[in-house]
Amino acid sequence: MDFTRRAALMTSAAIASSVLFPERSFAQETPRKGGVFSVHYGAEQRMLNPSLQASTGVYIVGGKIQEPLVDLDARGQTVGVLAESWESSPDGKTITFKLRQGVTWHDGKPFTSADVQFTAMNMWKKILNYGSTLQLFLTAVDTPDPLTAVFRYERPMPLNLLLRALPDLGYVSPKHLYENGDIRQNPVNLAPVGTGPFKFVQYERGQHIIADRNPNYWRPNAPYLDRIVWRVITDRAAAAAQLEAGQLHYSPFSGLTISDMARLGKDPRFIVSTKGNEGNARTNTLEFNFRRKELADIRVRKAIAHAINVPFFIENFLGDFAKLGTGPIPSVSTDFYPGADTPQYAYDKALAAKLLDEAGFRAGAGGARFSLRLLPAPWGEDVSLWATFIQQSLSEIGVRVEIVRNDGGGFLKQVYDDHAFDIATGWHQYRNDPAVSTTVWYRSGQPKGAPWTNQWGWTDATIDKIIDDAATEVDPVKRKALYRDFVTRANGELPIWMPIEQIFVTVINAKARNHSNTPRWGSSTWHDLWLAE
């Protein structure tokens, strides 16, 4: 009671000062307890447990309810969440985590190292996408006491690689609710139980998901919000209208149309920015199928890259939300970005035509050289616009492009399972460390049917060796140098071209405070988020 009265007094003081000194109000505001935060939720999920499915669609709900061992702070540095400290043995084969004391699950049971052991061995290693690659050489997790978890690896695991991966791939689930029965079919997957600041309340299919404040949260005085509501809105224009009508506060991960984001950016009621999404960088791709004899010729791939005016496309179609990309590791990756002095392909139509002539594909009747089937992924307007732009650009050098549109399932099946494409375009999402998200696009020997892996029919012993060496290199400086070699080789051989770099765009109501303050804010816990009156 006392606290509420004090909070009320402080709030009224804040309001008074904001009237007197409006320009100072932001800095002087005191966080307000209470309020309901409404989030735009574009696609429904089959599960909400981030220990089982690594995707932003899951984190945006599950990341408020469950917590990872570590997360990233405002400067992008690793900070402990369920783990307080960590250390690696010199050979990189043993990594020890000290866990936080006094943390309980939402059902009241204590959080211990047994939960970490169970989750790592049964979920991360066996089920979690990307996790199964990351933890491939994990042999055991020892639990000498309830607050210590010792990860044992068969091959050296670079500590920095693990720490960069764990914010996304290190969510912990309660062992006592999962140890019996089939993990995939457990009803807890859709009614998650965690240690986070919000407790799951309800999932009404097609309508909303609700989570309420966890009164026993381990961070003192957190969270501020009473409730978070995720509203399922599939239509982008409808979501923009609901933001304007005040029914929604936040649309994450570029959930609106490009034109609506640009329009709302001029409205003082909203903040439209890429801030808080630096950890969710993505590049637009152009993937070449090496089974086509024309595309197996490096001169043709280079000609295609030279024929497309990327700066023109970015300026006229993507606006402020994108920039010129320089390869598979985006510039936001402070740990690994090699700079722009790797092989690049500037717009040069004459050079493109010359390369095609040299490769023996001379213009025939009507100026046509050969034709290609282009499969654009159905995610995002930018991919669709980019596909049309490729089609028009290539027609100018005599390459006919037929665009074949599919929905999500159809696209993955045709490209990654049936290999029924000549060129394909979609997104590559970078996950803080190339070993987690990127090298599988280039490493040969990927099993057929695995989406977002090397299904181009490209094999290169040099790049395979670089990838394997970098994955187990414990010295951070040597690792960075290896990834520089990786980008140089990848850009030079061009099995995939990644010419555009984008960061997801956030649209949020200006009343929200403490938002976008970490590089993966949309996925984080929101324990300090609050709403001004």
Q: Segment 243-262, which members bind another protein (CB under 8 A)?
A: 244-247
Q: Is 283 in the site for another protein (CB under 8 A)?
A: no
Only one residue has tokens 């690594």, namely 54
Question: Minimum CB separation from another protein for residue 280, in Å?
Answer: 11
Instruction: Decide if residue 409 touches another protein (CB under 8 A).
Output: yes
Closest CA to 159 of 529, 458, 435: 435
Residues in contact with another protein, total (CB under 8 A)? 61
Q: Which stretch binds another protein (CB under 8 A): 116-124, 129-137, 303-311, 313-321?
A: 129-137
Q: Which is nearer to another protein, 251 or 326 (CB)?
A: 251
CB of 288 to another protein, least distance (A): 20
Q: How far is the CB of 63 from another protein (least distance, A)?
A: 15
Q: Is 234 in the site for another protein (CB under 8 A)?
A: yes
Q: Which of residues 194-213 bind another protein (CB under 8 A)?
A: 204-208, 210
User: Which residue blocks in 199-316 are alpha helix, DSSP H?
Assistant: 236-244, 258-264, 293-296, 298-307, 310-313
Q: Of residues 90, 365, 447, 461, which one binds another protein by CB under 8 A?
A: 447
The CA distances from residue 160 to 63, 86, 335, 432, in Å, are 22, 11, 10, 10
Instruction: Give the Cα separation of 509 and 321 in Å (integer).
Output: 19
> Could you say which of 11, 129, 488, 517 contacts another protein (CB under 8 A)?
129
381 binds another protein (CB under 8 A): no
Side-chain-side CA neighbours of 451 within 13 Å: the count stands at 13
Tokens 């637009």 sit on residue: 284
Name which of 153 and 203 has its Cβ closer to another protein.
203
Cβ nearer to another protein, comparing 74 with 420: 420
**Number of Cβ atoms within 10 Å of the Cβ of 282:** 26
| Residue 359 contacts another protein per CB under 8 A | no
Nearest CA to 177 out of 165, 187, 190 is that of 187
Would you count residue 17 as binding another protein (CB under 8 A)? Answer: no
CA distance 201 to 379: 30
> Shortest distance, CB of residue 283 to another protein, whole angstroms?
14
Of residues 185, 210, 188, the one with CA closest to residue 200: 210
Q: Which of 11, 25, 55, 517 binds another protein (CB under 8 A)?
A: 55
At residue 16, the 3 state secondary structure works out as helix
423-425 vs 370-376, strand pairing mode = parallel
Interface with another protein (CB under 8 A), residue from 117, 143, 189, 273: 189
Whether cis (ω within 30° of 0) applies to the bond prior to 378 is: no
Q: For residues 96 and 141, what is the distance between their CA atoms, to the nearest angstrom? A: 9
**Which of these ranges, 22-30, 106-114, 232-240, 460-468, lies near another protein under the rule CB under 8 A?**
232-240
Cα torsion 174, 176, 177, 182: sign: positive
Residue 109 near another protein by CB under 8 A: no
DSSP 202: E
Query: Would strands 270-273 and 78-80 be described as parallel, antiparallel, or unpaired?
Result: unpaired
Which of 179, 70, 172, 189 minimizes the C-alpha distance to 116?
A: 172
513 binds another protein (CB under 8 A): no
Q: If binding is defined by CB under 8 A, does position 411 make contact with another protein?
A: yes
Closest approach, Cβ 137 to another protein, in A, equals: 15
Query: CA 481, CA 458: separation in Å to the nearest integer?
Result: 23
Closest CB 127 distance from another protein, rounded Å? 7
Q: Which is nearer to another protein, 100 or 413 (CB)?
A: 413
| Residue selected from 105, 124, 130, 218 as contacting another protein according to rule CB under 8 A | 130
CB of 305 to another protein, least distance (A): 25
Identified binder of another protein from the candidate list 103, 141, 229, 318, rule CB under 8 A:
229
> Which lies closer to another protein via its Cβ, residue 44 or residue 396?
44
From 285, 276, 383, 282, select the one nearest 331 (Cα to Cα).
282
When binding is defined by CB under 8 A, the residue of 10, 79, 159, 232 that contacts another protein is: 232
**Closest CB to another protein among residues 223, 398:** 223
Q: Which of 54, 190, 194 is nearest to 123 (CA)?
A: 54
Q: Which of residues 24-53 bind another protein (CB under 8 A)?
A: 36, 38, 43-47, 53
Backbone angles phi, psi at 482, to 5 degrees: -65, -40
Q: Of residues 8, 9, 16, 238, which one binds another protein by CB under 8 A? A: 238
Position among 185, 341, 350, 366 found at the interface with another protein (CB under 8 A): 185
**Is the CB of 132 or the CB of 331 nearer to another protein?**
132
Question: Can you tell me which of 124, 250, 270, 452 binds another protein, judged by CB under 8 A?
Answer: 452
What does the longest C-alpha to C-alpha distance in the chain come to? 86
CB of 194 to another protein, least distance (A): 19
Contact between 241 and another protein per CB under 8 A: yes
Q: Which is nearer to another protein, 57 or 265 (CB)?
A: 57
Is there binding between residue 418 and another protein (CB under 8 A)?
yes
Q: What are the CA-CA distances from residue 478 to residues 153, 307, 430 (Å)?
A: 20, 36, 20
Yes or no: say if 500 and 321 are a contact pair by the CB < 8 Å rule.
Answer: no
DSSP class per residue in 244-271: HTTS-SEE-TT-S-HHHHHHHTTSTTEE
Which residues in this chain contact another protein in the complex, by CB under 8 A? 36, 38, 43-47, 53-57, 127, 129-130, 132-133, 184-185, 189-190, 204-208, 210, 227, 229, 231-235, 237-238, 241-242, 244-247, 406-414, 417-418, 429, 447-453
